[in-house]
């Protein structure tokens, strides 16, 4: 796989990275349902065998569990991938998640992530959410201190607006932004992606397949049968009417376009995000071996301008 330089860093990343949100397992506020750790480990190792060279996780995924699973998967791996994680979300003994960007909290979270990941340095450390907004400058300054001390190699942000990035950039360069971006979530095109392009900030997009909805594997029946602790069931409007019908029709169109090239709907959805010149790479989650292999074609294949227009025409006619 070709690699691309991530912003102002010395890291050259593959166009697709492994997303470790779902492997955090069940039993927390944004879980994807129960998950078998052995399957997660096998899936991560398959990702590395396929040539993927970075893993994106976060402390809050599974309330620390995702980071622990990533560490287990990388035991004995000689050609280690880059490991990215995040701070700014904390939880108590009851699993209640809080938003915190105070300096002392950022430092404690970093130390905890280093232990769970079993590493001496984190390749990319990202502020997960700009919340509370009034503390983003304090949080970012502490992240810069962690970088100066060698606990992290590069510093990034996630879910920030262009205005918020401009506020913190005064205290140290931003290597990357991680925003949501997909065919059905395009808000970042207006000001956020142009800001990243203008300021040499790498962009690694999450949910390019809209949390699994654009894979081609989701049907009304499968959505209805999602486990009760799958966050998409209650917290994702795209999985409910009036948007669901539009989204499933979009998947049908992606299937038709993909069929012309021997690609799956999910590959079309990922390739669509990678077509944007500001996008460095896309995070693709997987929960069992075989899933990533079916999506890897998106890393290098590109839609034609006519196919991009075809999708745009559909979206304009079916604006939700």
pLDDT digits (tens, 9 = 90+) for 154-207: 999 999 999 999 999 999 999 999 999 999 999 999 999 999 999 999 999 999
- Other beta carbons less than 10 A from residue 5's beta carbon: 13
217: pLDDT confidence band, cut at 50, 70 and 90?
Answer: confident
Q: Which backbone phi and psi does 59 adopt, to 5 degrees? A: -55, -40
Cα separation of 155 and 170, whole Å?
A: 14
Residue whose C-alpha is closest to residue 270's, from 200, 193, 210, 190: 210
Q: What percent of the chain has pLDDT over 70?
A: 99
> Per-residue pLDDT averaged across 211-228, rounded?
78
Class of 10-317 in CATH: alpha beta
Q: Where are the domains positioned within the chain? A: 10-317
To the query of whether residue 239 is one of the catalytic residues in this protein, the response is no
pLDDT band at 215 (very low <50, low <70, confident <90, very high): confident
Cα separation, 218 vs 56, whole angstroms: 24
Q: Which of 158, 18, 147, 40 is nearest to 99 (CA)?
A: 158
Token duo for residue 149: 């001390």
Give whole-number Cα distances, 116 to 31, 36, 97, 290, in Å.
19, 18, 18, 27
**What pLDDT, on a 0 to 100 scale, did the predictor assign at position 219?**
75
State the Cα–Cα distance between residues 286 and 289, nearest whole angstrom: 8
Q: Which residue, 11, 60, 30, is CA-closest to 204?
A: 11
CA distance 71 to 116: 7
Q: Which of 61, 82, 195, 206 does the annotation list as catalytic?
A: 61
Alpha carbons within 13 A on the beta-carbon side of 292 = 27
Beta carbons of 286 and 47 less than 8 angstroms apart = yes
What's the confidence (pLDDT) of residue 210? Answer: 86
DSSP bridge pairs for 126: 86, 156
Q: Which residue has the higher pLDDT, 319 or 36?
A: 36
For 76-117, the pLDDT digits (tens) are 999 999 999 999 999 999 999 999 999 999 999 999 999 999
Average pLDDT over the chain, rounded to whole? 94
The mean pLDDT value for 21-27 works out to 92
* Beta-bridge partner residues of 56: 19, 84
* 182-193 core/surface letters (b: 16 or more CB in 10 A; e: else): bbbbeebeeebb
Residue 153, token pair as written in the block: 């190699």
pLDDT of amino acid 320: 59
């Amino acid at each position: 796989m070709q690699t691309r330089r991530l912003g102002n860093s010395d890291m050259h990343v593959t166009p697709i990275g492994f997303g470790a949100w779902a492997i955090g397992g069940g039993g927390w506020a944004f879980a994807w349902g129960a998950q078998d750790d052995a399957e997660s480990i096998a899936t991560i190792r398959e990702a590395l065998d396929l040539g993927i060279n970075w893993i994106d996780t976060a402390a809050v995924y599974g309330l620390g569990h995702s980071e622990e699973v990533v560490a287990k998967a990388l035991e004995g791996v000689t050609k280690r991938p880059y490991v990215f994680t995040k701070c700014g979300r904390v939880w108590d003994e009851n699993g209640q998640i809080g938003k915190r960007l105070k300096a002392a909290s950022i430092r404690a979270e970093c130390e905890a992530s280093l232990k769970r990941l079993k590493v001496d340095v984190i390749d990319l450390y990202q502020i997960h959410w700009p919340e509370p907004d009034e503390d983003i400058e304090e949080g970012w300054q502490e992240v810069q201190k962690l970088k100066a001390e060698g606990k992290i190699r590069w510093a990034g942000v996630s879910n920030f607006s262009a205005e918020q990035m401009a506020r913190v950039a005064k205290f140290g360069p931003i290597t990357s932004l991680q925003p949501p971006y997909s065919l059905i979530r395009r808000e970042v095109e207006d000001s956020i992606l142009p800001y990243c392009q203008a300021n040499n900030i790498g962009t690694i997009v999450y949910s390019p397949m809209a949390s699994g909805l654009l894979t081609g594997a989701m049907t009304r029946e499968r959505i209805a049968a999602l486990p009760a602790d799958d966050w998409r069931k209650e917290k994702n409007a795209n999985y409910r009417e009036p948007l669901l019908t539009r989204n499933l029709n979009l998947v049908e169109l992606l299937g038709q376009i993909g069929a012309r090239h021997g690609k799956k709907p999910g590959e079309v959805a990922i390739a669509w995000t990678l077509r944007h010149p500001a996008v460095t790479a896309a995070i693709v989650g997987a929960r069992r071996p075989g899933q990533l292999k079916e999506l890897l074609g998106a890393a290098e294949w590109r839609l034609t301008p006519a196919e991009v227009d075809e999708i745009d025409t559909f979206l304009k006619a079916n604006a939700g």
